Amino acid sequence: MSRELRVVFFNFKTKITEFIKVEIFPGGKFSCFQYTKLVARNSRLAAFQQNINLQQKMTITIIGIGLIGGSLAIALKENGFAERIIGCDKSSANIDKAIRRRLIDDALPLEEAVAQSDIIIAATPVDAMVPMLPALLDLVDRQVVLELGSTKTAIVEAVRQHPKRGRFVAAHPMAGTEYSGPEAAIPNLFDHKCTVLVDVEDSDTDAVATAEKLFRSIPMRIVYLDAGAHDVHAAYISHISHISSFALALTVLAKEKDEERIFELAGGGFSSTVRLAKSSPDMWAPIFRQNRDNVLDVLDEHIEQLSRFRSLLIKRDFDTFYRLMEEANEIRRIIS
C-alpha cells in the first residue's frame, strides 16, 4: 500500500516555490507526479521553508468558522499543513459563507467530522467551550483537540478530570481584528505572532508536539504558561484594551450627539483607539465573564491612573503631567 507525501522547496534563482507530490511504495520505491510551480508570497516563504521536510498532510475539523477559525483554515491550507478542512458551526449561514469563500472543504455533523479528522480545533466563544469540550473529548481516540479561547482557567478546569485529558491542548493565538464571522477571515492574520500553549504538562507529549508543529508551520512564536498566569497577562495586554475601547466609544457617543460631526472630525488617533469597540459582544462578554476577577484588578489600576491625570489637570500641574507621559513613552522599548 502506497503513501502520498510532498516535497516543497524554493528556487532562489527563479524566485519560485516548487511543489512535488511523491508516492512512496513498499520497499522504499517512489514516483513523482503532478509537478506544479507556485509563486510564493514573501510572507509565506518562511512557512514553506519550515515545511521542507516530508510530512503527512492532515485532515482538520474547525468548530466555529469565524475570524479566528476561518483565518486559521486559510493559513493551514496555504502552507500545506492541512489537506482537508471540515467545518462545524451552529450557524448554517456561517457554514454557507465558509463554503462560498472556500474556507472549508466540507461541512459535516460533529461526530462524523471527528471520526474523519486528525486534529479538531475549537474556535468558539469561550462560554461555549466549557460544556462542549468534555463532550468533544468523549468522541476522540487518537485525535488531538486544540482550543483557541482567550481565557483559560475555566476551560482547562472543565476537562481536568476527563479520562482523555491528554488528547487536549489549550492554546491562545494572540492575533485578531475587530471584525467577526467567516467574512472577516483573512490570510496572514497569525504570521509571526505569538501563541500561548497552556498547561502542556497535562497533555500527551505527541499532542503537544502536533500543536507546536501546527503553529510553527504558519509560522508563529510559542510561549508556555499555566492557565492562571495566562489569564492575568491576557487581562493586562488584551482584555483591558477592549473594555477601555468600549468605554471610550460610549463616552464619545454620549457627548457627541451629532454622528456626522464625529465622522468628519475623527482622526487616526481616535479611530485607532476606539477600533476595538467594534468587536463582537458575543465574543467579548463571555471573555469578561470568565476572566472577571483579573479584569477587575486591571481595571482598578487603570481607573487609578486616569484619576491621577484628572487630578493633575485640576491642579494645573503640567510638569508632573509631562513626566507621566514621558514614563508612558517607555512602552516604546517593549512595543515598537
And the C-alpha cell for 324? Answer: 507621566
Q: Are strands 194-198 and 144-147 parallel, antiparallel or unpaired?
A: unpaired
Sign of the C-alpha dihedral computed for residues 12, 57, 150 and 167 taken in this order: negative
Residue position matching grid coordinates 493586562: 236
Terminus-to-terminus CA distance in the chain, angstroms?
A: 53
CATH topology of domain 44-225: Rossmann fold (3.40.50)
Burial zone of 12 (CB within 10 Å; 0-12 exposed, 13-18 middle, 19+ buried): exposed
Write down the domain spans for the chain: 1-40, 44-225, 230-333
Q: How far apart are CA 250 and CA 239, in angstroms?
A: 17
Q: Per-residue confidence of the chain (336 residues) as pLDDT tens digits?
A: 545 554 444 444 444 444 444 444 454 444 443 333 333 344 444 444 445 443 578 999 999 999 999 999 999 999 999 999 999 999 999 999 999 999 999 999 999 999 999 999 999 999 999 999 999 999 999 999 999 999 999 999 999 999 999 999 999 999 999 999 999 999 999 999 999 999 999 999 999 999 999 999 999 999 999 999 999 999 999 999 999 999 999 998 888 776 677 667 766 777 888 899 999 999 999 999 999 999 999 999 999 999 999 999 999 999 999 999 999 999 988 886
Q: How far apart are CA 323 and CA 318, in angstroms?
A: 8
- CA diameter of the chain: 84
**What is the structure's pLDDT at 273?**
84
**What is the structure's pLDDT at 9?**
45
Evaluate the omega torsion of the peptide bond into residue 286 and state whether it is cis, within 30 degrees of 0. Answer: no
**What is the structure's pLDDT at 16?**
42
**What is the structure's pLDDT at 263?**
67
Q: How far apart are CA 107 and CA 61, in angstroms?
A: 9
**What is the structure's pLDDT at 43?**
44
CATH topology of domain 230-333: 6-phosphogluconate dehydrogenase C-terminal fold (1.10.3660)
**What is the structure's pLDDT at 4?**
52
**What is the structure's pLDDT at 336?**
67
